[in-house]
Amino acid sequence: MIYFRGCVAREKLNKISEATEEILNHANIDFKLIETETCCGSFLLRTGFVDDAKEVMENTLNEIEGEKIITSCAGCYKTFKEDYPEILGVKLDVMHTSQFFSELVDNGKLEVEYLDKTVTYHDPCHLGRHLEEYDAPRNILKKIANLVEMKRNKENSRCCGAGAGVRSAHPEITENIAKMRINDLEEIDAKILVTSCPFCILNLESASKNVKILDLSQIILNGLK
């Protein structure tokens, strides 16, 4: 099995990939990293550079084809799950880490303890609205913490504001949207926001002062038995 870290978790938020690797080792999962890992092609696709994206995707496919893949990035997951079959004509065996960890918890291969913390969950667009995965991260969080939902959740979740190149092209719009999402927390009693997308974390952290923002892997790591 390959753990495909994704650009943000690999280059900017190493704490996510480190936590994920530690969890996999704790659960005795046999996995490997791609030392020459590059981009999945998602960012190029979302910003309209389809030919460039296809070239990147073909190079990445050479490293992952025929393997079971898990990835921390919601954008990578959507790209592997939907775009590789559509553009390259190849179906990949891929899971998001939230799905994989949820299965490990359910089958007893990963034991977590209750942390007595109140948390809320932010649904990444690519994982939620695009691929309709809402249950896996919540399945874990309900076992590990007191999960309180924001009013805007699941298919009605507010975007973090960073996707599809908006953060790069329109930083002021991105910042305003991120602040709106952080303000959604004012309606509930939660000081920890958990999500399953490194890009969401990167953007929401830039708008947050008093809220702790964690990847699902990080809170799982805190609760490992």
What contacts 4, CB < 8 A, 6 or more positions away? 34, 37, 40, 64, 69, 70, 71, 73, 76, 80
**Is 106 contained in some domain?**
no
* Sign of the C-alpha dihedral computed for residues 131, 181, 118 and 224 taken in this order: positive
For the chain, the straight-line distance linking the first and the last C-alpha, in angstroms and rounded, comes to 24
CA distance linking residue 31 with residue 76, whole number of Å: 18
Whether 120 and 186 share a structural domain? yes
Whether 218 and 115 share a structural domain? yes
pLDDT at 153: 96
DSSP class of 120: E
Segments forming the whole domain that contains residue 69: 2-101
What contacts 198, CB < 8 A, 6 or more positions away? 6, 8, 9, 12, 13, 16, 72, 73, 215
pLDDT at 167: 67
Q: Which residues of the chain have pLDDT under 50?
A: none
Whether 115 and 210 share a structural domain? yes
The one-letter code for the residue type at 169 is: A
pLDDT at 163: 73
What CATH number does residue 211 fall under?
3.40.50.1860
pLDDT at 164: 67
Quick one: tokens of 95? 């899971």
Residue with tokens 């830039």: 206
Total count of domains within the chain: 2
Three-class secondary structure of residue 121 per DSSP? strand
* Domain final residue, candidates 55, 80, 101: 101
Question: For 132-147, what is each residue's pLDDT tens digit?
Answer: 999 999 999 999 999 9
Whether 93 and 115 share a structural domain? no
Question: For 158-179, what is each residue's pLDDT tens digit?
Answer: 999 887 666 666 677 778 888 9
Cα 165 to Cα 38, 84, 129, 196, 203: the distances in Å are: 18, 20, 18, 19, 12
| Closest residue by Cα to residue 145 from 191, 185, 187 | 191
CA distance linking residue 40 with residue 63, whole number of Å: 11
**Is 191 contained in some domain?**
yes
pLDDT at 102: 98
